[in-house]
Homo-oligomer: A and B are copies of this chain.
Amino acid sequence: MSEENFRFEVTHICKQSGVRTGRFYTPHGVIETPIYMPVGTQATVKSLSSDDLKKIEAQIILSNTYHLYLRPTSELIKRAGGLHKFMNWDRPILTDSGGFQVFSLSKMRKVGENGVEFRSHLNGDKHMMTPEKCIEIQNNLGSDIVMQLDVCTEYGTSYKDSKKAMELTNVWLKRCFATQKNPKQMLFPIVQGNVFNDLRLESLNRARDYVRCGIAIGGLSVGEPKEKMYEVLDFLKDKWDGVPGPRYLMGVGSPDCLIEGVLRGVDMFDCVLATRIARNGTAMTSHGKVVIKNAKYKDDFSPLDDECDCECCKNYTRAYLRHLFNAGEILGARLVSLHNLRFLINLMAKVRDAINNDRFLDFRKEFYEKYKE
């Protein structure tokens, strides 16, 4: 039984805010929550090696089933000994179901009861993703945490369509649950329902029987204003009783959203934002965004973030980083990627520290006093 290989313990509840820190035990190690997970879409966190990721103290990474399924294929990764071995990462890995990418990347998609038919964004080949197939692929990958196939709706979707998607998500959950037999992998159900509270609640309640250790909240940060997302999280906040394990908010990872998510009871986050903006030369710092190509950094011989302990901030100046970006040198993208991830990982370490010291609300206030969007 997979339950033996996974355990979540709440280590502290902040007296000031009521939010929690925890430890999530997995076959590849323990994760301290709340946590931010770097995204390694194609079995690599763009530009960074696994040594880099350990240096910035990444505890877990996420990888994308859709991408790996298409290339290099999950069969190849299975032959390599699994995703951990393939990409040389011996700490926990979470894989998504591929569903979100089918909806956002593939050229054509047709959702039916049985699954989603789609065409590869790489070569147009036709594929069929079913709940069973999604689990089979993730079994091949050997990730620690696997996601159910779900139907994600964008912001603005009607109540009726959101309800249908939520219901189908639940049907697919049951089929995923029946397929997932690997005791070294934990299946997370996904709560859908768009911005409709009653649908969210129904989705959560339908999922309850299939939660063993951990659940995800999907379909947020898909175009809606942040306030809408916070409303959904606020609504769900007191509905988690009897749902064991961590709560994972999918695809959310700006610094302020991490803080707000934690405040609303979220334990796990992932997002490509940190590395995506890094490759364009935008850094997340304790004082807010730094767009390193700006002329004002030309003669700025100070580090990107004077509070950061990463290789980028310890060794290089803003003037040098600006030069790298102006000269089209990929070391620039790499150093800022490294920094942005370290910034978020470190931010979450500080969040845990604040919770453990019963001062998360104070911490949040201090954060916003310094951090300017």
Contacts and interface: CB of A to CB of B under 8 A. Distances in A.
Contact of A329 (B44, B86, B322, B326): B44
A334 interface: yes
A299 B80 CA distance: 8
A331 B44 CA distance: 8
Given A320-B86, A326-B72, A301 B46 contact: no
Contacts of A324: 42, 44
A327 B121 CA distance: 13
B330 A47 contact: yes
A71 B323 contact: yes
Interface stretch (A23-31, A311-319, A339-347): A311-319
A71 to B, nearest CB: 6
A40 B49 CA distance: 21
A43 interface: yes
Given A76-B298, A311-B51, A335-B49, A87 B320 contact: yes
- Interface range, A side: 35 or more
A50 B315 contact: yes
Question: How many copies of this protein are present in the complex?
Answer: 2
A88 B333 CA distance: 17
A22 to B, nearest CB: 31
Contacts of A333: 330
A15 interface: no
A127 interface: no
Nearest to A47: B330
Interface in A8-64: 42-44, 46-51
A49 B331 contact: yes
A337 to B, nearest CB: 10
A164 interface: no
A372 interface: no
A79 interface: yes
Contacts of A323: 42-43, 71-72, 76, 86
A326 B44 CA distance: 13
A322 B71 CA distance: 11
19 contacts: A42-B327, A44-B329, A44-B331, A46-B329, A46-B330, A49-B311, A49-B315, A51-B311, A71-B323, A72-B319, A72-B323, A72-B326, A76-B298, A80-B317, A81-B301, A86-B320, A87-B320, A88-B316, A334-B334
